[in-house]
Amino acid sequence: MTELEKFQKINICENADELAQAIIDISENGIVKGRIKGFDAKKMASRVKEVIAEDMIPNVLTREFGIRQQAIYIAYYESM
């Protein structure tokens, strides 16, 4: 999967379940590349719902591929 395809897969997510699955789908060997280090994809995916519910700070999600941005976007629109 190319970098662009990973961004697109994250960007089309409309709820927590889709975003969590997309994180797992874009991982390579269970790792999602961050800016500096790799993150466990399953652990990050399990935190998506908590971030969207605002029970956890968004910083637990990497900014790579727009993951954190998409979670914040979903949280905003679900709260309306």
Q: Please report the pLDDT score of residue 60 as a whole number.
A: 95
Q: Are 75 and 51 in contact (CB under 8 A)?
A: yes
Confidence of residue 43 (pLDDT cuts 50, 70, 90): very high
Mean pLDDT, residues 52-76 taken together:
96
Q: Please report the pLDDT score of residue 24 as a whole number.
A: 98
Confidence of residue 34 (pLDDT cuts 50, 70, 90): confident
Q: Please report the pLDDT score of residue 80 as a whole number.
A: 83
What pTM was estimated for this model as a whole? Answer: 0.95
